[in-house]
Amino acid sequence: MPSLQDRIALVTGGARGIGRAISLRLARDGATVVINYQKNETAAAEVVAAIADHGGSAVAVQSDVSDSAAADGLVRQTVERFGRIDILVNNAGIIRDGLLVRMSDDDWDAVLNTNLRGAFACLRAALRPMARQRYGRIVNITSVSGIMGNPGQANYSAAKAGLIGLTKTAAREIAGRNVTVNAVAPGFITTELTSGLPDKVKESILGQVPIGRFGLPEEVADAVAFLVGEGSGYITGHVLTVDGGLSM
Ligand code: NDP
């Protein structure tokens, strides 16, 4: 029997990049996956179809997680439709890079609202049903930028560092209900988010990565699958880096 058989998983931003790889992986492990997207309906439909082609089960649900009411609605719809929510992966994220001295309030707010407040809102909405069912696995996708800092990413690093604090506090608050809350901190992973980096920046990053290459979305999905899988029920409040050694 697949390890996540009968589990209901919600992946925010689950249609592209790392989120797509997580959706495909959780479905492969037997979960029914609610794939949240904000704008890209075509990508979401493609992932749902790919999962169905392999005998899995998935639905796509539009929602802007930076809006608390919409995030609440996303979790509520999941529970109404499937009767429970076992796994929440807070993956949705954006960047609005720029040096701190020139960073606008809008760029700060946009990144904090999506990357931190969105995760908070989904997490808060999922805690009650998970506590009631005495089971839950939550994974927040943070970043090495939240651990090490990164020039040009004050907003992003602050949001991702905040996500680590949120992970540890939620983990402590809910641990007694058999709900774990962990974070995965990717380094540089090949997705649309990083494809726009100038070649010079990419070369300089690679020079700092001991493994000497960018990571794959599937390698982040492997870490998520481990943290939501059967063997990790005693792991909570942990930040698992998937960064080729960059942050050690
Ligand atoms: P992509 O830009 O490829 O994908 C981002 C996803 O987030 C899209 O599916 C997008 O949906 C969704 N999204 C953005 N804003 C919202 C919103 N308000 N509500 C719902 N969904 C939203 O990014 P990656 O796959 O590279 O990144 C995924 C996560 O991993 C992010 O949290 C990112 O910070 C983190 N990360 C990525 C790294 C990398 O190197 N790529 C490194 C470290 C962390 P839609 O397409 O519908 O707009």
Q: Could you tell me which residues come within 8 angstroms of residue 194 by beta carbon, excluding any fewer than 6 positions away? A: 188, 214
The DSSP bridge partners found for residue 10 are 34, 88
Mean pLDDT for the stretch of residues 97-113: 98
Q: What is the pLDDT of the chain when averaged over all its residues? A: 97
Indicate whether residue 140 lines ligand 1 (CB < 6 A): no
pLDDT category, 2, cuts 50, 70, 90? confident
Residue at token pair 């980096």 = 197
Per-domain residue ranges for the chain?
A: 8-242
53 confidence band (pLDDT: 50, 70, 90) = very high
Q: Is the pTM of this model over 0.75?
A: yes
**Band of the pLDDT at 204, cuts 50, 70, 90?**
confident
Centroid of ligand 1 to alpha carbon of 176 (angstroms): 31
> How many Å lie between the centroid of ligand 1 and the Cα of residue 235?
25
| pLDDT tops 90 at residue 210 | yes
What pLDDT, on a 0 to 100 scale, did the predictor assign at position 194?
Answer: 85
Q: Whose CA is nearest to atom 3 of ligand 1?
A: 17
Please confirm, yes or no, whether 156 is among the known catalytic residues: yes
* Coil, helix or strand at residue 157: helix
Mean pLDDT over 201-228 rounds to 95
Please tell me the predicted confidence (pLDDT) of residue 196: 82
CA–CA–CA angle 67, 159, 73 (5° rounding): 20
Distance CA 1, CA 3 (A): 6
State in words which class domain 8-242 has.
Answer: alpha beta
Backbone angles phi, psi at 197, to 5 degrees: -65, 140
pLDDT digit string, tens, across residues 57-67 = 999 999 999 99
Give the residue, out of 114, 139, 191, 247, with the most ligand 1 atoms within 8 A of its beta carbon, to mutate for a pocket test. 191
Residue 35 confidence (pLDDT) above 90: yes
Q: How far apart are CA 239 and CA 231, in angstroms?
A: 16
Give the residue, out of 16, 142, 166, 201, with the most ligand 1 atoms within 8 A of its beta carbon, to mutate for a pocket test.
16
The string of pLDDT tens digits covering residues 156-170 is: 999 999 999 999 999
Evaluate whether 192 touches 19 at the Cβ level (below 8 Å): no
- C-alpha 13 to ligand 1 mean position (Å): 6
